[in-house]
Chains A and B, each alone.
Chain A
Amino acid sequence: MSSSDSLEIDDLSKRYGDVVALSHMSFDVRAGEIFGFVGSNGAGKTTTMRIALGVLSPDAGQVRWAGRPVDLRTRRHIGYMPEQRGLYPKMKVVEQLVYLARLHGLSHAAAVAATDEWTERLGVAARRDDEVQKLSLGNQQRVQLAAALVHDPQILVLDEPFSGLDPVAVDVMSTVLRGKADAGLPVVFSSHQLDLVERICDRVGIVRAGSMVANGTVDELQAGGPERLVVSAPDAPHGWADELPGVVRATYEAHRAELELSPDADDQVVLRAALDTGPVREFARRRASLTELFRHIVTTGATA
């Protein structure tokens, strides 16, 4: 299952005293794909990323890249954006980026060239000689992304890269991530902005209580989610579908009803019942959005 350059998170466990932070967390991010990592606060996303970067050590399990355990040398090829943004507040943007690039093993000349390139591409070139603390939060975020990219990483691990960004910056960030994935890098990021995840991720992993509970493409996840029907039958009385076989839940608006069906339900039974009440103007299957899936999984404890 491991493609040549995929990042594999294999069976990680981590406890803090009595608190279980991670329990058998496993997933892999293939080369060239963007993996969205979603879950409630405290579900274990940040802990997983910090372990991947070697900032924390796991109690059990392993992180591998291209089939080999990730060590300090491989970590130098990871572009990392920590959840808690971190840069030296009193250091100039350009010096900071050159320094970080050099720590990742670049020569001075290469570090300077990469700094020029990324400050330009991320739109902070005009602020390169300013101290980081003098920048707006949005610009600090751009510099933070530049810090993750400046050493030409082979893997990207970004913890909440979109939080606090304006729509323009979100577009810049998305473009950069897509570009890196297209260049063959495994890209993983966590986010609470599920519409964004749905839009730009190739695959999504949903974590709950330290474990991966759903993992696949958005289509796959939706296919495994609950079946929904939208029925518009203007003459139907309120509650007409409540007693129908296979209907788990029904919500009614003016002339429409939204029904959640159990996996083995027969939608034709529902259609006949609707026609019995009068004309049917709309009858459609609707796939759950990622937000609904997420809520469903996290609140019901279901697995997809």
Chain B
Amino acid sequence: MNGVLLIAQREINTRLRSRAYRISTIVLALILVALAVLTKLIGGGTDYTVGVTETTAPLAMPLTASAASIGVTVKTRTVPDEAAGRADVASGSLNALLVGDGSTVHVVVKKGVNVKLDNALHVLAGQVALAQQISRLGGDPSRVESAVAGAKVQVDSLTPPHTYDTQRLVLGIIAGVLIYLSLMLAGQAVAQGVVEEKTSRVVELLLATVRPWELMTGKVLGIGIVSLVQMVVIGGAGLAAGLGTGALSIGTSAAVGTLVWLAVWFLLGYFAYALAFAAVAALVSRQEDVAGVVTPVLLFVIVGYVLGVSILPANPGSGLIEVMSMIPMFAPTLMPMRLTLGGVPVVESVVAVAGMLVVIPALVWLAGRIYRNAVVHSGARVRLADAWRAS
């Protein structure tokens, strides 16, 4: 056991000191932070500021309301007089200025009206015209308005669907990307580490002191710890930035929950894939040959990830994804995405985790056997069947 710890420790020290590791951690964390900040800048907050004069001030409230009804945030500001307002429009501090006597919608803009603002103004113009007609016909515009506002469609669902929130959808995709990248990076690190020991022949020296399974376990453990730290740092930085800037409004506990699930699924996925990577990498002796043997394993990661990011955004409740997310080799990429989206029945989550817990010990045995038989054979690529048989 002491051997396993020493080996894991060497892996951790080596990786933590490597430039590639540090740079990839920092760059990925920065990308997520930048994403959060950008979301905040582009998204939320005020979209447009519209100036009103003394005579058009009564239109301020209806404008804000009609804009809100079509999902546009408009703030209004009363200007001292029309000339001052025009100056603000020219300088760009106002997107538009409502002028005239308030009986019609008449705006002054710098060049043209933005589509969204234009829509809001059209709705406003319609309301103004409607209110004037209602008054002329002897009705009360405010009563009509409240009656219209109160009219709703009542929907009765036989099976209430989970409503997917856009923010969680984005978060789910990010979780998917993060776990995909982490599995790829960590898996490749394991494969390259195994082959490095074969290429440099140091494996022969090591096997004279430790058993093959100890060498494999130590390596997988060490790289796993380092990669988990990397993913939590990246994901944590992204979530913290999202919560800090207000780009994310899912709440701290939900954010922590997301991170914990991400870590759990990374570990489950990592152990399964790392063992497979270690076993197939032991078959070859040169770094050039690594890609050839790891690709079939990598395909499982890629297929899960690609299906997830291409189907889930359009169809978060996809039945295909629901089923695949419970199949062990696809679960590590798909389940964390679904969990972040929310609405995963507990039983499905349990089935997925249980599947991994069955597969991992089986892989320990399988990979251990292949690794033990193949790792001492340097030179030509060892056939999988030979590695399985020979002992």
Contact = CB atoms under 8 A, between A and B. Distances in A.
Interface of A: 50, 53-57, 72, 75-76, 78, 80, 82, 84-91, 99-100, 102-105, 147
Query: How would you classify the secondary structure of chain B's contact residues: helix, strand, loop or mixed?
Result: helix
Interface string B195-213: 0110011111111111100
Nearest to A132: B200
B14 interface: yes
13 contacts: A54-B207, A55-B208, A56-B376, A82-B201, A82-B204, A82-B205, A86-B200, A87-B200, A87-B205, A88-B197, A88-B200, A91-B14, A103-B209
Contact of A72 (B205, B206, B211): B211
Given A55-B376, A75-B208, A103-B210, 12 more contacts: A53-B204, A53-B207, A55-B204, A82-B204, A82-B205, A84-B201, A86-B201, A89-B200, A99-B6, A99-B10, A102-B6, A147-B205
A86 B205 contact: yes
A57 B390 CA distance: 11
Query: How would you classify the secondary structure of chain A's contact residues: helix, strand, loop or mixed?
Result: loop
Contacts of A82: 201, 204-205
B3 interface: yes
A84 B378 contact: yes
Top-4 shortest CB links A-B? A86-B201, A86-B202, A84-B201, A53-B208
Interface residues of B, number: 23
Contacts of A75: 208-209
Contacts of A72: 209-211
A53 B3 CA distance: 17
Nearest to B198: A86
A78 B208 CA distance: 8
Interface in B1-39: 2-3, 6-7, 10, 14
B10 A84 contact: no
A218 to B, nearest CB: 30
Contact of A84 (B2, B14, B204, B207): B204
A78 B207 CA distance: 12
Contacts of A88: 196-197, 200, 202
Q: Which of B207, B210, B211, B391 has the most CB of A within 10 A?
A: B207
A80 B202 CA distance: 11
B14 A76 contact: no
A281 B193 CA distance: 69
Contacts of A90: 14
A87 B206 CA distance: 10
A64 B378 CA distance: 27
B265 to A, nearest CB: 32
